[in-house]
Amino acid sequence: MKVICVENEAAVGKEAARLISAMIRLKPDCNLGLATGTTPMTTYNELVRMYKEEGLDFSKVSTFNLDEYIGLDADHPQSYAYFMDEHLLSKVNIKKENTHIPNGKTLRVDRTCSAYDKKIEDRGGLDLQLLGIGRNGHIGFNEPGDKFVAETHQINLTDDTIEANSRFFECEEDVPRTAITTGMRSIMHAGRIVLIATGESKADAVHAMLYGEIIPQVPASLLQLHPEITVIVDRAALAGSSLADSLFSAE
Ligand code: F6R
């Protein structure tokens, strides 16, 4: 695991976008696994800037998002499909047919989940997976539980996730209670993983991911076993870890 600690959110976004753009330049038809939420916004802003100012070409890129709320239409402002359009997909020259997000309005969740895994596998898997991390250590919507789940599946969101994500909704009651999330297999099979985290609310989860036991109660801990993972954090998200002590003690 490589850990890069930078000054602030904007620098996290620049560093993550640098790694993603390198993948796009090396492999123009790459498959990117993407995340939503507050953390990747600076990354997507920087990718859009690179598209506009540096000609970063998305015309052959395919994207697969990690998750979607069950029950929200793609044009619902809080759906992850809407988020992705708003922050990246409608702002670069990616082909609509190359962008994929689990269908939150499906009537056949099981079939939708297995078809999503098959689509990723048929395309040769993900070349790079971008991840955020939940305060409870979730990745995608793989919530803490008794076992790691390999396949894309339906998940009941934990109270902590519902509370954390209520900031995007008018009130907590409006947050969907269930979602579709890709499982650990497509994440762990990605050629490269870039995990980003900012702010002190993530410090405990980042610490448990980096140093904790590999247990399903901290889904992100499984990432310790991935051979090509770069964790990009700001100082606040690293606070309290022994790595932070050694990095910052010289100042
Ligand atoms: C969303 C996702 C989640 C988020 C995590 C952190 O697609 O994969 O795991 O990355 O909940 O969210 P933010 O960045 O909003 O703190």
Positions annotated as catalytic residues are 67, 136, 138, 143
Q: For the chain, give the number of residues.
A: 251
Hey, which of 9, 34, 39 would you mutate to test ligand 1's pocket, going by the most ligand atoms within 8 Å of its Cβ?
39
Write the pLDDT tens digit of every residue in 221-234. 999 999 999 999 99
Residue whose Cα lies nearest atom 1 of ligand 1: it is: 36
Report the DSSP pairing between strands 99-100 and 67-69.
unpaired
CA triplet 154, 139, 228: central angle to 5 degrees? 130
Residue 155 CB contacts under 8 Å (≥ 6 apart), including other chains: 141, 142, 143, 178, 179, 180, 181
- H runs (alpha helix) in 140-193: 159-165, 184-188
The domain defined by 8-120+134-189+199-213 folds into Rossmann fold (3.40.50)
* Report field, pTM of the whole predicted structure over 0.85: yes
Write the pLDDT tens digit of every residue in 36-91. 999 999 999 999 999 999 999 999 999 999 999 999 999 999 999 999 999 999 99
Helix axes 9-26, 41-54, angle to 10 degrees: 50
